[in-house]
Amino acid sequence: MSKLGPIKLYDTTLRDGSQAEDIAFSVEDKIRIAQKLDELGIHYIEGGWPGSNPKDLQFFQEMKSAPPGRAKMVAFGSTCRAGTPPQKDPNLQALIEAGTEVVTIFGKSWDIHPLEALNITLDQNLEMIHHSIHFLKGRVEEIIFDAEHFFDGYKSNPRYALSTLMAAQEAEADWIVLCDTNGGTLLDEIQSIIKEVKKQIRVPLGIHVHNDTEMAVANTLLAVKEGVQMVHGTINGYGERCGNANLCSIIPNLKLKMGVDCITDAQLKKMTEVSRFVSELANLPHYKYLPYVGDSAFAHKGGIHVSAIRKSDATYEHISPERVGNRQRVLISDLSGESNILYKASEFKIDFQSKDPKVRNILDNLKKLENEGFQFEGAEGSFEILIKKALGQHKKFFELMGFRVIVEKKTEEEIPLSEATIMVRIGNQVEHTAAVGNGPVNALDHAIRKALEKFYPSLKEVKLLDYKVRILSTKDGTGAQTRVLIESGDGKSKWGTVGVSENIIQASWQALVDSIDYKLLKKEEGEKS
């Protein structure tokens, strides 16, 4: 076991995280995220600033009827205003009205803020900190003081920065959190300043770090090593400017690398799920390169790497991905070796022997296609079809007899109308259909579905989730080779397919056909099993 003491995890995704560009959580979003954070084992969930907006006040009111099972709900706000007694300060009254068992208030600890931003004296600032905490004491169960800009304040005027902490301590705050609000403090500064703080402050300390120098996680872990007992952060590192310290990295590092049992093993397995859940409600793509929880965190592309992990995962993985709810992935590209093909074949339940000449044929074909512009890393549906075609195991579900796409624009103001007409043969029957769409590819997608759904009703489940176009060579202008990557899903699984051509419609057609083929292939396999 670690010699480090117990650590409390404090999540501020719902407040600090929502200040990130492009993020806006609804009240319902916040309730659902709070429930997930509670399941993850977070000890403190900061729900918002009830004194700043009615949405956060509504969130706290609704959480009273469905409180978290283990976590403590926290309302956030500032100290009272200069010249306003705490009992008459609307911000402090809103904190009490929120009805949470814990309140966090922030105060200025960098001397330039009271002097230049607030136009008050340094002594007035100390009084505001002391009086606000003293007023809240007894009205709420637990008070956390966030010393905003503390590290910058300490570097500028160490005596005054420490005096703000002393004011909070004398008013009997339960926690004092040292904040690197601008995110510009480096490791050695964090370490030396915390050592000095501990000489004078007996109240348990917390750390709240922003990521403007890409140091937030490292600074947080170092603070823990220096005896800090509360860790602030957000899921996926969301937050203002460059974000906050990322709890999805901090928590596994604490538990798996530093031996701190901050959450249980079972809770840790929810880490990837929670990360994805929050990004989904934030309406942001889940960043694949996130450590521990990203799609690429345990993905292997080079043939030598894949050959090694087939013998021992530890050769290229620092932990087992299942410990954080993630999974190992092997990517297929022109860097692949035979090991990649064999690994993927086993994933698709295709029996290959390492000496089978078909493996080399598939590998050669793969590298030829990638040289032409195909990319199978995000198109595993197309890759599985490629393998099955090479093995003679691919069934032709329909045959194209021709299609036509028309784009018509009658006036300058009107939006262009796209119409696709398609003729396909299914067995001995010919279907000839037409459909419109908001673009040529959308119209073609509608037309092919219209033709096939009466024969293959399961296609009604399929939705086109994402459509990406990449120009592969800029020197050829509008005649450049184009790659289309389509992501499809049926509510149970997702798959990617790819097409490449100088004609964007043809490239889109290739990817669409593979998407349909993949769904029908899986449906048939499911019926046989």
For the chain, percent of residues with pLDDT exceeding 70: 94
What's the pLDDT score for residue 1? 37
Instruction: Of 324, 242, 329, give the one whose Cα is nearest residue 276.
Output: 324
pLDDT at 345 over 80: no
What the block records as the tokens of 389 is 């075609």
Quick one: average pLDDT of 5-17?
95
State the average pLDDT for the chain.
90
pLDDT at 104 over 70: yes
Where b means 16+ CB within 10 Å and e means fewer, 443-458 reads bbbbbbbbbbeeebee
User: Residue by residue, what is the 3-state secondary structure of 206-241?
Assistant: EEEEECCCCCHHHHHHHHHHCCCCEEEEEHHHCCCC
Return the half-sphere exposure (C-beta side, CA atoms, 13 A cut-off) of residue 101: 11
What the block records as the tokens of 201 is 């402050």
Q: Specify the DSSP class assigned to residue 430.
A: E
Distance (Å, rounded) from C-alpha 478 to C-alpha 72?
58
pLDDT at 441 over 50: yes
Neighbours of 309 (CB within 10 A): 18
Distance (Å, rounded) from C-alpha 96 to C-alpha 151?
29
Task: Write out the residue limits of the CATH 3.20.20.70 domain(s) in the chain.
Answer: 8-263
What's the pLDDT score for residue 276? 87
Quick one: average pLDDT of 474-487?
73
Lowest mean pLDDT, pick from 95-109, 160-174, 334-348, 408-422: 334-348
Task: Write out the residue limits of the CATH 3.30.160.270 domain(s) in the chain.
Answer: 399-528
Alpha helices in 282-418 (DSSP H): 303-309, 338-347, 357-372, 380-390
The pTM of this model reads 0.72
Sort residue 180 into left (φ over 0), alpha (ψ -120 to 50) or beta.
Answer: beta
Quick one: average pLDDT of 76-96?
95
What the block records as the tokens of 487 is 């992501």
Quick one: average pLDDT of 313-337?
83
What's the pLDDT score for residue 2? 45
Distance (Å, rounded) from C-alpha 499 to C-alpha 521?
18
Query: pLDDT for 24-64, tens place per residue?
Result: 999 989 999 999 999 999 999 999 999 888 899 999 999 99
Query: pLDDT for 225-234, tens place per residue?
Result: 999 999 999 9
pLDDT at 485 over 50: yes
For the chain, percent of residues with pLDDT exceeding 90: 66
CATH match of 8-263 with 1.20.1340.10 = no
What's the pLDDT score for residue 333? 62
Sign of CA dihedral 149, 151, 154, 155: negative
Quick one: average pLDDT of 437-462?
93
What's the pLDDT score for residue 226? 97
Query: pLDDT for 461-476, tens place per residue?
Result: 999 888 888 877 655 5
What's the pLDDT score for residue 388? 84
Q: What are phi and psi of 23, to 5 degrees?
A: -115, 130
**How would residue 410 be classed by pLDDT, with cut points 50, 70 and 90?**
confident
Rounded to 10 deg, the angle between the 158-170 and 122-136 helix axes is 20
Beta bridge partners of 384: none
pLDDT at 300 over 70: yes
Alpha helices in 23-174 (DSSP H): 27-40, 54-63, 90-97, 112, 122-136, 150-156, 158-170
Strand, helix or coil for residue 286: coil
What's the pLDDT score for residue 259? 95
Quick one: average pLDDT of 134-145?
96
Q: Which CATH number fits domain 399-528: 3.40.50.150, 3.90.550.10, 3.40.30.10, 3.30.160.270?
A: 3.30.160.270
Query: pLDDT for 491-527, tens place per residue?
Result: 888 888 999 998 999 999 999 999 999 999 888 887 7
Quick one: average pLDDT of 177-182?
98
Quick one: average pLDDT of 352-360?
71
Neighbours of 66 (CB within 10 A): 10
